[in-house]
Each structure stands twice: as structure tokens, then as C-alpha cells.
Amino acid sequence: MSAHTPTRRLTIRDIAAMRQRGEAIAMLTAYDATMARLVEMAGTDMILIGDSLGNVVLGHETTLPVTLDDMIRHAAAVKRGSSRALLVCDLPFGSVSGPDAALANAVRVMKETGVEAVKVEGGLVMVPVVERLVAHGIAVIAHIGLTPQAVHQMGGYYMHGKDEASAARLRQEAKALEAAGAFAIVLECVTPALAAEITHALTIPTIGIGSGKDCAGQVLVINDLIGLNTSPPPSFAKPRADVAAIIRAAVGDYVAETKAERQPIPLPRRAE
């Protein structure tokens, strides 16, 4: 490829083709231009600007305080750092209170960031939302299982689909969201056996997180992948590096060198 040949950005048609030929889909989060460029250079197919930025960037305990303005600011930065990966922006808590609100907020995200798709959390209640967005030309990824925006209503973070009632509900939600027009579905903390079953029942790709290895793809929070945390990552995330340790060591060396190289500088004498 010529150095002057423009890079073609992946589309939802490319993602669908990957599912059809059985090629796994690699997805990661990014929240700024530099990280977007790095994960894309490493071959990531899709980048999620996740509302997880509330936890790993903004310091909140949950994703609930994240605003639409927060998402737009970070998604626009990711867009500026990216040229190939398909970009997906989370619609945060409170921005999808119904089809009309969801459409207005999704349109704003698309116009102000340049991403290719949005992601919405929730099951059957999100079916009319997905239908409305898709009808207006907006590509949508659905998200079921553990949905962090509903953490308080769910009563915490735990594995979903363990009992038959929960499993039946997730099967129904997945099929309904596919029929509504979602081009992919995130399965978060769904039992691996059920995640595999849902994956084989759908023609659109499932993107797992904490749901085993039999989904069509996987997404992780980039900080969990590279060990850029000050607290332990989720049990399903296996850090491939310890970037936090590298930062601590580099900053420690800098601080020690700065203090060692500089002698005390006396204050100027006051005029008598």
C-alpha cells in the first residue's frame, strides 16, 4: 500500500462480514486520541468510547454520573486519533429515557463526534429505542446481561443467566434486539454456556465481556487490559502488562533525579 493511500475505515458491513466468515472481532475502549491511535495501530477492529470513562478517567464509583457532554468530548478526541477502527459511543445513563430522547441525543453524538455507531444498555425496553434510531439511519449496538447503568436496580455486579428464568429473558432480549435492527449485541457477564447459545442463535455478532470465549468477539476496558489501574481489575480481565508499575517507576526516577540534581537555592536577602 502506498504511503499516500488513505486508510479505509471499517463499517458495519465489514463487521457483519467478519461474523459471516467466522472471524473474531476485537474491540477495546479508548477515551482520548493517543490511546485510540495506539489500539488501532495494534489492529483493534472496533473502539468503544465507553461510559466506563466515569470509572477509569473521571474517578466516579459508577458510570451513572457520566453526562452526554462527557461522552461527546471524549468521543470526538478518539475520532481525531483514529482512522481505521469502527467507532462506537455509549449513550450514558439518562440519555435514553425513551425513543424521542434517545434519537435527539444520538443525533447530537453523531453530529458532534463523527463516530459511526452508538451503544445502548437494556433489554426489551430498548427495542423501541433501537427501532427508532435505526429507522433514522443510526447504527446501534445493544447491550444486555450486566448493564452497569442499572447497577442499583440489579443490586450489584454479578453473573447473569444462571437460572432458567434469567436465561429465557436474555434469549428473548437478544432475538428482539436483533429483530429491532441492532448490528451487534454486547453480552456482559452472561454465563459462558448461555453466551455461546445466544451467539449461535443470532446472525449478528455477539461481543462478550466476562462471558467466555464463545462469543463472536470480545471487548475490554483498555485500562484493565494493560494494567493501568490503581485497584484490581475485574476477575475476567487478565492484564497483559503492568503499565501502572512502569508509570510509578518512571515518575519515581524523575522525582528522585530532580531532587538530587538541584541544590537548595537561598532566598534573596531582604533589604534592611
pLDDT per residue over 144-163, tens digit each? 999 999 999 888 889 999 99
Residue 41 above 70 pLDDT?
yes
- What pLDDT shows up at residue 243? 97
What is the average per-residue pLDDT within 8-15? Answer: 96
CATH code for the domain in which residue 17 is found: 3.20.20.60
Residue 4: band (very low, low, confident or very high) from pLDDT cuts 50, 70, 90? very low
Note the pLDDT tens digit of each residue in 57-75: 999 999 999 999 999 999 9
Residue 262: band (very low, low, confident or very high) from pLDDT cuts 50, 70, 90? confident
**In a domain? residue 232:** no
Q: Determine the structural domain holding residue 168 and report its residue range.
A: 12-227
Distance in angstroms (rounded) separating the CA atoms of residues 82 and 44: 11
Note the pLDDT tens digit of each residue in 202-221: 999 999 999 999 999 999 99
Residue 166: band (very low, low, confident or very high) from pLDDT cuts 50, 70, 90? very high
- What pLDDT shows up at residue 6? 53
Distance in angstroms (rounded) separating the CA atoms of residues 224 and 111: 30
**In a domain? residue 262:** no
**In a domain? residue 238:** no
Residue 1 above 70 pLDDT?
no
What is the average per-residue pLDDT within 45-57? Answer: 97
DSSP 75-126: HHHHHHH-SSSEEEEEPPTTS-SSHHHHHHHHHHHHHHH--SEEEEEBSGGG
**In a domain? residue 252:** no
**In a domain? residue 244:** no
The catalytic residue positions are: 188
pTM over 0.75: yes
DSSP 5-33: SPPPPP-HHHHHHHHHTT--EEEEE--SH
Residue 266 above 90 pLDDT?
no
Residue 272: band (very low, low, confident or very high) from pLDDT cuts 50, 70, 90? low
154 within 8 A of 105, measured Cβ to Cβ: no
- What pLDDT shows up at residue 51? 98
**In a domain? residue 1:** no
Averaged confidence pLDDT in the chain: 95
Place of cell 476485537: 26
Residue 251 above 80 pLDDT?
yes
**In a domain? residue 272:** no
Residue 20 above 90 pLDDT?
yes
**In a domain? residue 6:** no
Q: How many domains does the chain divide into?
A: 1
